[in-house]
Amino acid sequence: MTATKGLEGVVATTSSVSSIIDDTLTYVGYDIDDLAVNATFEEVIYLLWHGALPTKSQLEELTKQLAENAEIPAEVVNHFKTYPIDKVHPMGALRTAVSLLGLYDEEADVMSEDANYRKAIRIQAKIPTLVTTFARIRQGKESIAPRTDLSFAANFLYMLSGNEPTAIEEEAFNKALVLHADHELNASTFTARVCVATLSDIYSGVTSALGALKGPLHGGANEQVMKMLTEIGSVENVEPYINEKLANKEKIMGFGHRVYRKGDPRAKHLKEMSQKLTELTGQPQYYDMSIKINDIVTGQKNLPPNVDFYSASVYHSLGIEHDLFTPIFAVSRASGWIAHILEQYSNNRLIRPRAEYVGPGMQKYVPIEKR
């Protein structure tokens, strides 16, 4: 038995949810470039969960179900208020809160297909409210109840700020949600599948996935990109900053990818949005810095930007606090996790690979007084 470090190139399951072939990303066979320009996030949720784009009435039904299930239990809101609020990262709060939600869902451990679908709706609907409620509580503000007359994207921005977003903001945020929704067997999705393949419940699957997404080599990278842009501060500082990092063999967040070689197809859409929004909000330096970083890292290391690189300046331009960037990734990716969890349940087998043992050979137990 020989281990493959990081399971690189290992095909661990079949899936009909999304694919990456020759650097092209598709959801159920629809090119992400097509969906990014044309689809609403609600349509993408339906597509991932049902394997087909919805009809008008199917979409209306899903939209209604999501809106009706967006409120979170008062117990969860009160729990947030007990956290050491200035020390807690919102991804930790979200991971804990999704686990807690499961305790207040009477169907949490009911494993029928119908019950799992009802839970899928509830989880997808409530995650945005968890993020915005936590964000407001830590600012000492009242939480804002979800509205049933806004799109999924607009409702999130409304619950966060208390203001209805402009059409441009809503469009940009919707596109970001569409672009982050699913990505084949990325680390958090694999985590979710491993968890539920033991026939554990859907809340456990999503909670596990949140734990994996939080890390800076995965979803946590978007916050780190913003930290880097803030540290750099101006276009003139880019070159010395990046050169020093590369000379020290440090990773530049938002670059590189395990699967893409030529580049992440999502990045160009986010780049375009970054240019538009940074200009619109009078902060073009964030786009200009990003372009310069991109030139240097791609030029010197042949590493193209991934989805996390330009999303940082997009979210910053939307006025979103930097430590909410990864929770926002989760708001979208929950749809993909759930699609994979449902797919796993429908054709389950325990996921249990092997390890190549590289520790000491056979040893004899030594009594403690003789060690």
Ligand X SMILES: CC(=O)SCCNC(=O)CCNC(=O)[C@H](O)C(C)(C)COP(=O)(O)OP(=O)(O)OC[C@H]1O[C@@H](n2cnc3c(N)ncnc32)[C@H](O)[C@@H]1OP(=O)(O)O
Give whichever of 128 and 219 is closer to ligand X, judged by the CB atom: 219
Q: Residue 294's closest CA among 281, 280, 306?
A: 306
308 is a contact residue toward ligand X (CB under 6 A): yes
In the annotation, is 288 catalytic? Answer: no
At which residue do the structure tokens 């441009």 appear? 168
Least CB distance from residue 65 to ligand OAA, whole Å?
A: 26
Least CB distance from residue 204 to ligand OAA, whole Å?
A: 20
307 is a contact residue toward ligand OAA (CB under 6 A): yes
Q: Residue 294's closest CA among 207, 349, 228?
A: 228
Torsion, Cα of 92, 95, 96, 102 (10° steps): 170
Q: Which residues of 20-47 are buried (b: 16+ CB within 10 A; e: fewer)?
A: beeeebbbbebebbebbeebbbbbbbbb
Give whichever of 133 and 208 is closer to ligand OAA, judged by the CB atom: 208
Rounded Cα gap, residues 134 and 357, in angstroms: 44
Q: SS3 sequence, 327-348?
A: HHHHHHHHHHHHHHHHHHHHCC
111-140 residues in contact with ligand OAA (CB under 6 A) are none
Alpha helices in 139-283 (DSSP H): 152-161, 167-180, 187-196, 202-213, 221-232, 235-247, 267-280
Residue from the set 50, 89, 147, 251 that interacts with ligand X by CB under 6 A: 251
Rounded Cα gap, residues 33 and 45, in angstroms: 16
Q: How many CB atoms lie within 10 A of CB 71?
A: 14
In the annotation, is 308 catalytic? Answer: yes
Least CB distance from residue 249 to ligand OAA, whole Å?
A: 21
Rounded Cα gap, residues 258 and 225, in angstroms: 18
Give whichever of 81 and 258 is closer to ligand OAA, judged by the CB atom: 258
256 is a contact residue toward ligand X (CB under 6 A): yes
Catalytic residue (choose from 257, 269, 316, 340): 257
Give whichever of 63 and 326 is closer to ligand OAA, judged by the CB atom: 326
246-265 residues in contact with ligand OAA (CB under 6 A) are 258-259
164-183 residues in contact with ligand OAA (CB under 6 A) are 183
With CB under 6 A as the contact rule, which of the stretches 71-79, 158-166, 202-210, 255-263 interacts with ligand X?
A: 255-263
Catalytic residue (choose from 180, 218, 308, 316): 308
Pairing relationship of beta strands 30-31 and 24-27 according to DSSP bridges: antiparallel
217 binds, among ligand X, ligand OAA, none (CB under 5 to 8 A by kind): ligand X
Give the binding site for ligand X (CB under 6 A): 6, 217-219, 221, 251-258, 301, 303, 306-308
Q: Which residues are catalytic?
A: 257, 308
Give the binding site for ligand OAA (CB under 6 A): 183, 186, 258-259, 306-307
